[in-house]
Chain A
Amino acid sequence: MILNPAIIALVSNAWLISAVTLAAAVLGLRIIRRWDLNSTAGLQLAMERQTYLISSVLTYLLIFELLSLFLFAFTADRLHSLFIGAMCAAGSLNVNAYGYPALQLKLVNCLLCGIWLIVNHVDQQGEDYPLIRFKYRFLTVIAGLLVLESYLLTQYFRHMRADVITSCCGTLFSEDTTSVAGVMAGLPPYPAMIAFYASMALTLRTGIHFLVTGRAIRWFSGFSVVSLAAALVAIISFISVYIYQLPTHHCPFDILQHEYLYVGYPLYLCLLTAGIGGAGAGVIDRFRQHASLAAVIPRVQKKLCLGSLVAYIIFLMISGYPIVFTDYTLSGY
């Protein structure tokens, strides 16, 4: 275990968040079982009031999850110097089996929190809490995943063994160390490029189709999730290479550093926004038939779709800039 302020912050807050969400989920379970809008009993009133608390908690949660996602990536990046052979976060995440799963789960949890908030928003637009049970079943899943995430995060940091020498009696240079780096590299750039631009094109096409005709939202939603995955692969496979202008540098984390003008932050934020918006629009589509939501859902979907499209377009522009406007090419690669 390495005792470092960022690690203490990440681990303690992961557990704090888990505990709060778990408490919310317990309240949610009671809501799932006992909810009855026609009841005038005190319990029903108490549960209705708890929904306000839970909404607020989840709103904060999304903000904290987003911040901690970036903090985690940043911290992993900074820790790379502790591990022989690690050149950036890609390496330090690889020092044990928990690093990447923790990061990936964090990303998933961010998406889920965002989608939950969209569902919650829609639910609040209906006069009779139409999605209340779905919402709280969803919440219990999120709570479970958050606990898992905290566990992975803790295990990741606990099993970190830095190859340390002390200032006076240094250890011998150690030959047997975890082989690292480069693992994330090596995806052939051209297929990744084609997949990325094709999924983006389909997303934009179906999105515009939905905005114009009000149809095909599920297609749009599906493609936007695919685009999110394709974009993450694309960052590793070729976008980062263009940004660094180094054919061998594939790190998706260095773009968060100031050497690269923190360009990673807008890129990832755009992706998350677009992914959450697109996925959320699809998730709420199944509730279109609810009487109290018939007017609400298309309106919300339109906003989500528009937001998602704008975010993807910004992503395309930022990531396309170095590809179009620099002399660097992938030729001979």
Chain B
Amino acid sequence: MIDLQHISKTYHQGRSNAVAALQPVSLKLADGGFTVVQGPSGSGKTTLLSVIGLMCRPSTGRIYVDGRETTSLSEHFAAHLRRRTFGFVFQNHNLIKGRTVLDNIMIPAYPEGEPFSRLRQRALALLDRLKLADKAGRQVTALSGGELQRVAMARAMINSPSVLIADEPTAHLDTRLADRFLEIAADLAADGMTVLAASHDPRVCNADCVGTLISMHDGRLLDNKQSMP
């Protein structure tokens, strides 16, 4: 359960180039299910996801993750909680060049310091699940767009988070691959994971598997449309 109370975010606060990316927003996200935040670019979707995912502190307001107040955590603990709770899939994948697929997937787990054999096993299992088992030793530059996205998803799941956050996951994918993404996301949601995606792609927003649709415009929430799966 993620509870946002009057969250706002202003970049470059107090300076002439201040940008109010998020007007005060209150929102509760229940555990499990597939939620999509939709809206035109610049509407504050990405900022909302960053704030929820503890990537930045909101300018005002409080966030509770499973009842725990997170806005005044030290960076070290915020990073710790973030690793355990959230997995991220970025818009342009953001894999690290010059490293293998397997390395890329394991990187978010390095600060946890678990034994290598266990970590490797988990990474291989994820690759297997996403049908990438044969690509483990490849350099990421040698992969296709769809493969890159699945590697990014595997990386997001390496720490077994309870929430998967995806920003414009289908921006660079053709219809077949977009469907493949939705399939995996629905699969994860069915396993009890909370999937939270920001998108203005109608293929995503109108997909059957989406449980909750949140619309944003100019940093405000418009309305919440509940759809019964």
Asked whether any CB of A lies within 8 Å of a CB of B in the complex, the reply is yes
- Tell me which residues from 61 to 83 in chain B have a Cβ below 8 Å from any Cβ of chain A: 71-77
Please judge, given known A-B contacts A40-B57, A40-B58, A40-B59, whether A48 and B75 are in contact too, CB under 8 Å: yes
- Tell me which residues from 36 to 61 in chain A have a Cβ below 8 Å from any Cβ of chain B: 37-38, 40-42, 45, 48-49
Q: Residue-by-residue, is B8-32 near A (CB-CB < 8 Å gives 1, otherwise 0)?
A: 0000011000000000000000000
A259 at the interface (CB under 8 A from B): no
- Tell me which residues from 88 to 126 in chain A have a Cβ below 8 Å from any Cβ of chain B: 124, 126
Contact of A124 among B13, B58, B76 (CB under 8 A): B76
- Among residues of B, the one whose C-beta sits closest to the C-beta of A44 is B57
Alpha-carbon distance A37/B14, docked complex (angstroms): 18
Chain B residues whose C-beta falls within 8 Å of the C-beta of A48 in the assembled complex: 74-75
Asked if A129 and B74 sit within 8 Å, CB to CB, the answer is yes
A128 at the interface (CB under 8 A from B): yes
Chain B residues whose C-beta falls within 8 Å of the C-beta of A41 in the assembled complex: 13-14
Number of A-B contacts (CB under 8 A): 27
For the residues of B in contact with A, the DSSP-based class is loop
Most buried by A among B59, B60, B74, B75: B74
Chain A residues whose C-beta falls within 8 Å of the C-beta of B60 in the assembled complex: 40
- Among residues of A, the one whose C-beta sits closest to the C-beta of B11 is A42
Asked if B14 and A42 sit within 8 Å, CB to CB, the answer is yes
B interface bracket (residues with beta carbon within 8 Å of A)? 10 to 19
Contact of B71 among A40, A42, A126, A129 (CB under 8 A): A40
Asked if B72 and A128 sit within 8 Å, CB to CB, the answer is yes
Asked if B57 and A45 sit within 8 Å, CB to CB, the answer is yes
Chain A residues whose C-beta falls within 8 Å of the C-beta of B13 in the assembled complex: 41-42
Asked if B57 and A38 sit within 8 Å, CB to CB, the answer is no
| CB proximity of A110 to chain B, nearest CB, Å | 27
Chain A residues whose C-beta falls within 8 Å of the C-beta of B72 in the assembled complex: 37-38, 128
Most buried by A among B58, B59, B71, B75: B75
| CB proximity of A261 to chain B, nearest CB, Å | 38
A127 at the interface (CB under 8 A from B): yes
Asked if B74 and A128 sit within 8 Å, CB to CB, the answer is yes
Q: Residue-by-residue, is B184-222 near A (CB-CB < 8 Å gives 1, otherwise 0)?
A: 000000000000000000000000000000000000000
Alpha-carbon distance A124/B79, docked complex (angstroms): 13
Chain A residues whose C-beta falls within 8 Å of the C-beta of B74 in the assembled complex: 37, 48, 124, 126-129
Binding site for A on B (CB under 8 A): 13-14, 57-60, 71-77
Q: Which 9 A-B pairs have the closest CB atoms?
A: A127-B77, A37-B72, A40-B59, A40-B57, A129-B74, A127-B73, A38-B72, A48-B75, A127-B74
**A-B CB contact pairs (8 Å), 19 listed:** A37-B72, A37-B74, A38-B71, A38-B72, A40-B60, A40-B71, A42-B13, A42-B14, A45-B57, A48-B75, A49-B75, A124-B74, A124-B76, A126-B74, A127-B73, A127-B74, A128-B73, A128-B74, A129-B74
Given contacts A40-B71, A127-B73, 8 further A-B contacts (CB under 8 A): A38-B71, A40-B57, A40-B60, A42-B13, A45-B57, A124-B74, A124-B76, A128-B74
